[in-house]
Amino acid sequence: MKVNQVITKKAKLINQTLEELLPMEEAKPKKLSQAMRYSVLAGGKRLRPILTLLVAKLIGEEEKKVLPAACALEMIHNYSLIHDDLPCMDDDDYRRGQPTNHKVYGEAMAVLAGDSLLTLAFETISRINNIDQDKVLLATQELAIAAGNQGMVGGQAADIVAEGQKIDKEGLEYIHTHKTGALLRAAVRIGAILAGANKEELAALTTYAQKIGLAFQVVDDILDIEGDEEKLGKDVGSDLERDKATFPALYGLEEAKKMAQKLCQEAKEAIHIFGEEAKVLLELADYIIGRDY
């Protein structure tokens, strides 16, 4: 099965599960429930939860057992997008081809919708009861670290501080390995932890995750310059307008493209120990640097 078909199939399963896990539209407080559903169910690649499912299967665990953890990751990802789009952050009007959450429900409700998704994520992962609870605890800790000041939130904070400032290679990599890479890394590691990966397997998968996480952000930076707004579902050029720290800004566009290719190759080399069994993960690395949205 080609990687695009795998993504479509897994995304359908994830969407169905998210639909069940989110509060119903009429659940009180109604406006909050609707705001939560609005952003999560608007679509998206579902790359993070897909990685969790694929890695768990690679190690030998049933995908359905780790599905709640996969959906918890997607909830946290969507909370971050809602907050990133706020006027006090990146101030974006469109996400996935539709008005951003605060444009529809107001800034206060958008903040609360994001907060609710963050907390629902931890409720969801904590309810896993068909996997050894020590593994569930480790996976929950992994998620918390990736989402907080040592991960995604820390990266976002560093990104804000860096606006309009000169930044070196180390500073740029810190921002993106935390803001974007931390949750992608967690997606891979959580799948591996819940499935019972050994030390060698976990180390290989962690390197793979770190490389694709950085490659993902390099490609995002490139698409902000030359991407198709209709496909992206959001405005392009916003990073340049806000003088954001990006790979093309520091290295140039062509060098950034070479960097993405190099990271992709390093990611694939990292999981050679799995042989043919890792074929989908190898193809997913290519998908990440070849995507146009």
Residue 217's nearest CA partner among 187, 194, 189, 245 is: 245
pLDDT of 190-223, one tens digit each? 999 999 999 999 999 999 999 999 999 999 899 9
- Residue 109 is predicted with a pLDDT of 98
What would the mean pLDDT of 18-42 be, rounded to a whole number? 97
- Residue 239 is predicted with a pLDDT of 59
The encoded tokens of residue 109 equal 């409700």
- Residue 228 is predicted with a pLDDT of 60
* C-beta atoms surrounding 63 within 10 Å: 17
Range with the poorest average pLDDT among 122-131, 174-183, 212-221, 240-249: 240-249
Q: Is pLDDT of 232 > 60?
A: no
Distances (CA, A) of 269 to 4, 102, 228, 258: 21, 42, 31, 17
Report yes or no: 263 and 211 within 8 Å, Cβ to Cβ: yes
Tokens 């950085």, located at residue: 214
As a whole number of angstroms, the distance between CA 48 and CA 67 comes to 11
Residue ranges of domains in the chain, CATH in brackets: 3-290 (1.10.600.10)
The encoded tokens of residue 179 equal 């803001």
Pairing outcome for strands 98-99 and 94-95 = antiparallel
The encoded tokens of residue 254 equal 């062509």
Report yes or no: 58 and 44 within 8 Å, Cβ to Cβ: no
φ/ψ bin of 252: left (φ > 0), alpha (ψ from -120 to 50), beta (otherwise) = left
CA 4, distance to chain mean position in Å, is: 18
Between 163 and 234, name the one with better pLDDT.
Answer: 163
Q: What is the DSSP string of 168-193?
A: -HHHHHHHHHHHTHHHHHHHHHHHHH
Q: Which residues have CB under 8 Å from 166's CB, separation 6+?
A: none
As a whole number of angstroms, the distance between CA 48 and CA 142 comes to 14
Q: How confident is the model at residue 163 (pLDDT cuts 50, 70, 90)?
A: confident
Between 165 and 283, name the one with better pLDDT.
Answer: 283
Computed over every residue of the chain, the mean pLDDT equals 93
As a whole number of angstroms, the distance between CA 243 and CA 227 comes to 18
- Residue 46 is predicted with a pLDDT of 96
Distances (CA, A) of 155 to 79, 81, 209: 15, 14, 17
As separate numbers, helices (DSSP H) first and strands (DSSP E) second, the chain gives 16, 2
As a whole number of angstroms, the distance between CA 228 and CA 285 comes to 21
As a whole number of angstroms, the distance between CA 90 and CA 80 comes to 11
- Is this model's pTM higher than 0.85 or not? yes
